[in-house]
Amino acid sequence: MKVIAVVTADFERGALGTRSRLADDLGGGTVVRRTLERVLKCERVASVHLVVDTAQAAAGQAAVEGLAVKLETHHAGDVPWFNYVRSARKWSLDAWRGGLGSTCVFDESLHPWLLEALGRREQADGVVDVPAAAVLLDPRLLDAMIGHYETTADDVRMTFTQSAPGLSAAIYSTPLLGDLVKACHSAGRMMAYNPAQPRRDMIMLPCFYPPETDVRRAFGRCVADTDAAVDRIAACLRECRVAGGDDVRVVLGGFGDPLLHPEWPGYVRRCREAGIFAVAVRTPAVTLDKAAIDVLEENQVDVLNVLLDAATPETYRDLHQADHYDRVLANLDALLASHQARQQPQPLLACEMIKARATMDEIEPFYDKWIGKVGSAVIVGPSDYAGQFVDRAVMDMAPPTRFACERLFTRALVLADGRVTVCDQDYRGRHAVGSLADSSLAALWTGETLTATRRSHQAGTYDAMPLCRSCREWHRP
Ligand code: SF4
């Protein structure tokens, strides 16, 4: 069986819209050469191909110099879903799947038109799609996956595994790539759950290669295309990364409706002018009118997270104490109609429902409806904010053994008046660590209070910040 590896490279822009780092030096070699060298270590790959746009042939030539890699050029342009995937994957950088609209890491690199053409020309039975910045690709894992593909290829047409993004790569049969081209489908769309045609999760099917436990549990982006990922890769040993990298994600939302703030359009614009990587607006969408839609679309806000919490007007009224269900649905239809008219997918719509006693009967219809309509639906557990708020949870989901809260290392909450709190459980700001009126966010983020709280969590004590003691959200990402 012949399996080839294809690395599709863009020396100007990464798949997530960040600056391409393929030509950057990373510990003595460029990012793209490091990736190619990893692929060349695979024993079961028949040939390795680097694919670049014709305009980037010189950069491609430099990348393959002296390596047993064939340079291929094209002028096919981007895949049609490029912008959609870019906005959806920004919110799941560290996991292989879980992106809005069922997008997964394979969507970031897969260009089925190019891979199918190469697979056909090379008469390959399988094509491995290697992300160009996957400098930590595991050749041993990839060889094992190709072995798995060879034994299952009669029954299934792809092989993938569950690993941190960049440690592995998906393998597709050439006919499957042809079918994706004909259907104009991304990998994530093919793998997504479809309520109209229910089937088992693909990790339960023979196309899934089960990795070792350590690989399965590994978390964190290993594709060298954001500052955080490059830091992680280049210096796993360095303890802290630079605050304010190029993968900063901002959510305008919290405890109130950002659309009611008179200056919210200005904040969105400023986020974009400041080069913020990903922007989301979290809102009940009751006041989402044409002017608001224009602001969201003109500034290419990535995600509109709508707190709907119901599949019927009755439950909506019960939970929100207001009769706005039909109005919100009409607003969302107007947003989707505007997407159609502008031929623009952003902001991706992600309607959310809390899993509470009052919503249990509506979770399934809610999920099926929004998955069918926009490809995304979010079900979240309600928080009682460490005992400060009514407890609506169906059950306590906290694992039996406590560990350090990840949110301390990944999230900062800025309240509307500029105070920065330890985390979003402190919605009253009673434990604020400072204010943006007096300090920079970077100074507060790396300051004494937050550092001490993180250290106490790592040491297994959880009382440096009073809310942590009774918090039940510590296990959530
Ligand atoms: S344990 Fe709870 S209160 Fe403490 S930082 Fe984590 S989420 Fe916030």
Span from the CA of 350 to the centroid of ligand 1 (angstroms): 25
From 385, 396, 403, 405, the mutation candidate for ligand 1 (largest count of ligand atoms within 8 A of CB) is 405
Residue nearest atom 4 in ligand 1 by C-alpha distance: 468
Separation of CA 471 and ligand 1 centre (Å): 6
* Nearest-CA residue for atom 3 of ligand 1: 468
Q: What is the best residue among 385, 408, 449 to mutate for testing ligand 1's pocket, by most ligand atoms within 8 Å of CB?
A: 408
Identify the residues whose C-beta falls under 6 Å from ligand 1.
386, 405, 407-408, 422-423, 425, 465, 467-468, 471, 473-474
Rounded to the nearest angstrom, the distance between the alpha carbon of 436 and the centre of ligand 1 is 21
Listed in order, strand segments (DSSP E) in 36-150 are 48-53, 70-74, 126-131
- Name the residue of 389, 468, 475 whose CB sits within 8 Å of the most ligand 1 atoms, as the mutation to test its pocket: 468
Alpha carbons within 13 A on the beta-carbon side of 106 = 27
Q: Are strands 126-131 and 158-161 parallel, antiparallel or unpaired?
A: unpaired
174-183 and 112-121 helices, crossing angle to 10°: 140
What pLDDT is recorded for position 242? 41
What pLDDT is stored for residue 411 in this prediction? 83
pLDDT at residue 338, rounded to an integer: 96
pLDDT at 245: 63
Three-state secondary-structure class, residue 200: coil
pLDDT for 274? 80
Q: Distance from the CA of 226 to the center of ligand 1, in angstroms?
A: 26
Measured distance CA(393)–CA(358) in Å, rounded: 10
What is the C-alpha separation between 224 and 242, in angstroms, rounded?
16
Question: What does the DSSP 8-state code read for residue 353?
Answer: E
Please give the Cα distance from 318 to 213 (Å, whole number): 44
pLDDT at 234 (0 to 100): 66
Distances (CA, A) of 169 to 54, 152, 339, 392: 25, 17, 32, 41
**What residue ranges of the chain have pLDDT lower than 70?**
234-245
Whole-number Å distance between alpha carbons of 45 and 170: 13
pTM over 0.75: no
pLDDT at 237: 32
Q: Give me the pLDDT at residue 249, please.
A: 87
pLDDT at 99: 83
Q: Which residues contact 466 (CB under 8 A, 6 or more apart)?
A: 431
Q: Which atom of ligand 1 is nearest to the CA of 405?
A: 6
User: How much distance in Å is there from the Cα of 473 to the middle of ligand 1?
Assistant: 6
User: Residue 19 Cα, ligand 1 centroid: separation in angstroms?
Assistant: 33
Best of 423, 469, 476 to mutate for ligand 1, by most ligand atoms within 8 A of CB? 423
Q: Quickly count: other Cβ atoms within 10 Å of residue 445's Cβ.
A: 17
pLDDT at 49: 98
